[in-house]
């Protein structure tokens, strides 16, 4: 049976024929599973459902989608482009026109002049340059939902043969990462702290490079204008913000408040000690072991002192006043759409998606994953989650990589997203080209990190070894990441594209 009908072009007779085929093939079981309100399916309902899920039929058109094109997704797109058969359609989607290189954003939100280097064109994301295949497509649009057989996006692209906002897939790699904390959340609130009279225009952000540059420039202005800054959260972002602000504006009073006694507790104590020493030298006021009382951050209960400073309180009752509050906490995995599809796929403890070691989405992760082998009997043809045999279900055609994945203790990092994406994409290629062959399994490595402490100094922990460097530069060598994403970065002009 051929389901190669183009999207939106399926006639009623074809749909009816397809519907009866789906019944013969047991698709009603899938409908029952995925659409609980239709437990028993009347033929009329089935016709309706089939119309609604044309995309599930179009899934036989052999399409792989990559959702999110940053550290994880971009790598997945490249591996798939190289490994999928020539007749496969590969659609890579991101709401941003450029890959946002977030490592450098705290610096560029403080130090003017380098913003453009943080936005890397995704024009060569498949790594094919001028030889890009016509069926390898990038879309700048927002993914709004995912189901086992199709995704929904904000826009159709008829000029690219994508006539519907529903895009069917055979395989999906979900790499939508995490929402950034407020001081770096470009898709979040207005970056302006104070909107001057006469400049009340509503701030809009559409995920373009120029929007991103403007956003960072507004953050720079807000930081420059604040004599006192309170940074909340002693993770890498908070540390980098505090030390950069003090390095660039030594006259400012900067406080870093952290709820734990140790900074970066996943790493050796030496990291904490060195960061603390640097902060002392910079005269950053470091408050450890005190949690911010979040009710004092509530805009409606906002307290302002006589100097116009915002006053917040810790849970121990300490009051801190500052002109600018940078809340570097609360990073959340971007898994809402997976949760809407199947809430059991989300780890309630951290909001990340459960996966098998193969990076396939599941409702409960393997206990001893390295000995768990992929259940080759599970069919992916209709996108139905397969029964893993222990009461859990695995969506064998949906892979999750990067910050969205609960990846066996891996830290949320660009390099781990990259490694997970390779495993996910290799497994998709294996399922397509060598069905029945064993799939790769992911194992997280030893956590590694490098954190800048002002413009030149940094501390790192790599492969279990702690070290200090003093070779940093103002733009954090942002251009080196461009090469990783196959974007030309030979001149300053290239970096402005």
Write down the least CB distance from residue 442 to ligand FAD, Å: 14
> Residue 414 interacts with ligand FAD (CB under 6 A)?
yes
Tell me the C-alpha distance between 400 and 387, whole Å: 18
Considering only 29, 33, 60, 95, the residue that binds ligand FAD (CB under 6 A) is: 95
- The angle at the Cα of 136, spanning 133 to 138, to the nearest 5 degrees, equals 130
Please choose, out of 39-47, 91-99, 306-314, 380-388, the segment that lies near ligand FAD by the rule CB under 6 A. 91-99
Tell me the C-alpha distance between 278 and 146, whole Å: 46
Query: Are residues 358 and 374 in contact, defined by beta-carbon separation less than 8 angstroms?
Result: yes
Interactions with ligand FAD, residue window 19-38 (CB under 6 A): none
Residues paired with 465 in a beta bridge: 462
Q: Determine the angle formed by the axes of helices 27-34 and 12-24, rounding to 10 degrees.
A: 90
Task: Between 142 and 217, name the residue whose CB sits nearer to ligand FAD.
Answer: 142
Query: Are residues 485 and 122 in contact, defined by beta-carbon separation less than 8 angstroms?
Result: yes
Considering only 49, 57, 168, 180, the residue that binds ligand FAD (CB under 6 A) is: 180
> Residue 94 interacts with ligand FAD (CB under 6 A)?
yes
Binding mask 230-249 for ligand FAD (x = CB under 6 A): ------xx------------
Q: HSE-up of 378 (CA within 13 Å, CB side)? A: 21
170-181 b/e (C-beta count within 10 Å ≥ 16 → b): bbbbbbbbbbbb
Tell me the C-alpha distance between 134 and 137, whole Å: 7
> Residue 147 interacts with ligand FAD (CB under 6 A)?
no
Tell me the C-alpha distance between 488 and 497, whole Å: 9
Q: Which of 427, 431, 432, 400 is nearest to 416 (CA)?
A: 400
Binding mask 445-474 for ligand FAD (x = CB under 6 A): -----x------------------------
Task: Between 321 and 325, name the residue whose CB sits nearer to ligand FAD.
Answer: 325
Backbone φ and ψ of 197, nearest 5°: -55, 140
Q: How many CB atoms lie within 10 A of CB 424?
A: 35
Write down the least CB distance from residue 86 to ligand FAD, Å: 27
> Residue 275 interacts with ligand FAD (CB under 6 A)?
no
Tell me the C-alpha distance between 219 and 211, whole Å: 13
Query: Are residues 328 and 311 in contact, defined by beta-carbon separation less than 8 angstroms?
Result: no
Task: Between 92 and 384, name the residue whose CB sits nearer to ligand FAD.
Answer: 92
Considering only 19, 59, 70, 263, the residue that binds ligand FAD (CB under 6 A) is: 70
Task: Between 143 and 162, name the residue whose CB sits nearer to ligand FAD.
Answer: 143
Write down the least CB distance from residue 92 to ligand FAD, Å: 10
Please choose, out of 64-72, 163-171, 221-229, 279-287, the segment that lies near ligand FAD by the rule CB under 6 A. 64-72
> Residue 417 interacts with ligand FAD (CB under 6 A)?
yes
> Residue 72 interacts with ligand FAD (CB under 6 A)?
yes
Considering only 170, 211, 342, 403, the residue that binds ligand FAD (CB under 6 A) is: 403
Considering only 366, 402, 419, 454, the residue that binds ligand FAD (CB under 6 A) is: 402
> Residue 327 interacts with ligand FAD (CB under 6 A)?
no
Considering only 19, 80, 175, 431, the residue that binds ligand FAD (CB under 6 A) is: 175
Task: Between 109 and 429, name the residue whose CB sits nearer to ligand FAD.
Answer: 109
Number of residues that bind ligand FAD (CB under 6 A): 33
> Residue 96 interacts with ligand FAD (CB under 6 A)?
yes
Helices (H) and strands (E) in the chain, counts: 13, 26
Please choose, out of 57-65, 88-96, 306-314, 379-387, the segment that lies near ligand FAD by the rule CB under 6 A. 88-96
Write down the least CB distance from residue 421 to ligand FAD, Å: 7
The runs of H, that is alpha helices, within 334-486 are 336-341, 414-433, 479-484
Tokens of 54: 């044309």
Task: Between 30 and 116, name the residue whose CB sits nearer to ligand FAD.
Answer: 116
User: Cα 326 vs. chain centroid, distance in angstroms?
Assistant: 21
Task: Between 176 and 232, name the residue whose CB sits nearer to ligand FAD.
Answer: 176
Q: Which of 424, 390, 389 is nearest to 407 (CA)?
A: 424
> Residue 363 interacts with ligand FAD (CB under 6 A)?
no
Please give the full DSSP string across 387-420, using - where no structure is assigned.
Answer: E-SSS-EEEEEEEE-GGGEE-TT--S-HHHHHHH
> Residue 324 interacts with ligand FAD (CB under 6 A)?
no
Task: Between 70 and 91, name the residue whose CB sits nearer to ligand FAD.
Answer: 70
Tell me the C-alpha distance between 299 and 9, whole Å: 51
| Residues at the interface with ligand FAD (CB under 6 A) | 68-73, 93-96, 100, 102-103, 105-106, 142-143, 175-178, 180, 236-237, 334, 402-403, 412-415, 417, 450
């Amino acid at each position: 049976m051929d389901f190669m009908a183009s999207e939106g072009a399926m006639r009623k007779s074809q749909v009816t024929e397809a519907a009866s085929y789906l019944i013969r093939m047991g698709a009603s079981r899938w409908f029952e599973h995925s659409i609980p309100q239709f437990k028993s399916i009347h033929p009329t309902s089935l016709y309706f459902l089939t119309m609604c899920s044309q995309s599930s039929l179009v899934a036989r058109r052999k399409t792989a989608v990559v959702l999110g094109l940053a550290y994880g997704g971009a790598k997945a797109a490249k591996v798939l482009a190289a490994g999928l058969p020539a007749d496969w359609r590969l659609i890579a989607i991101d709401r941003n026109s450029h890959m946002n290189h977030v490592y450098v954003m705290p610096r560029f939100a403080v130090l003017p002049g380098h913003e453009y280097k943080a936005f890397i064109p995704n024009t060569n994301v498949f790594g094919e340059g001028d030889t890009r295949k016509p069926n390898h497509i990038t879309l700048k649009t927002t993914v709004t939902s995912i189901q086992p057989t199709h995704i929904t996006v904000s826009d159709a692209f008829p000029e690219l043969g994508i006539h519907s906002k529903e895009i069917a897939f055979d395989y999906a790699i979900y790499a939508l990462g995490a929402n950034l904390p407020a001081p770096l959340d470009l898709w979040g609130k207005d970056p302006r702290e104070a909107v001057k009279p006469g400049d009340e225009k509503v701030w809009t952000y559409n995920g373009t490079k120029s929007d991103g540059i403007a956003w960072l420039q507004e953050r720079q202005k807000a930081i420059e204008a604040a004599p006192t800054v309170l940074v909340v959260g002693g993770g890498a972002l908070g540390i980098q913000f505090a030390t950069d602000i003090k390095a660039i504006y030594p006259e400012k009073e900067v406080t870093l408040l952290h709820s734990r006694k140790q900074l970066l507790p996943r790493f050796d104590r030496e990291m904490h000690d060195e960061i603390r020493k640097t902060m002392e030298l910079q005269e950053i006021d470091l408050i450890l072991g005190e949690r911010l009382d979040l009710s004092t951050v509530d805009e409606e209960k906002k307290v302002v002192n006589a100097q116009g400073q915002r006053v917040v309180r810790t849970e121990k009752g300490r009051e801190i006043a500052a002109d600018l509050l940078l809340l570097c906490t609360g990073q959340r995995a971007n898994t809402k759409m997976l949760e809407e599809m199947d809430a059991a796929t989300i780890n309630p403890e951290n909001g990340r998606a459960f996966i098998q070691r193969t990076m396939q989405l599941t409702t409960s992760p393997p206990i001893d994953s390295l000995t768990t082998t992929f259940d080759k009997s599970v069919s992916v043809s209709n996108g139905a989650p397969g029964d893993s045999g222990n009461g859990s279900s695995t969506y064998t055609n949906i892979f999750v990589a990067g910050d969205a994945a609960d990846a066996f203790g891996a830290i949320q990092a660009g390099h781990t997203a990259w490694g997970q994406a390779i495993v996910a994409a290799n497994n998709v290629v294996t399922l397509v080209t060598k069905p029945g062959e064993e799939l790769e399994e992911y194992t997280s490595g030893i956590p590694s990190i490098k954190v800048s402490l002002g413009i030149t100094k940094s501390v790192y922990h790599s492969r279990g070894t702690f070290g200090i460097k003093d070779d940093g530069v103002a733009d954090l060598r942002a251009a080196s990441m461009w090469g990783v994403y196959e974007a030309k970065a030979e001149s300053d002009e290239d970096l402005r594209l």
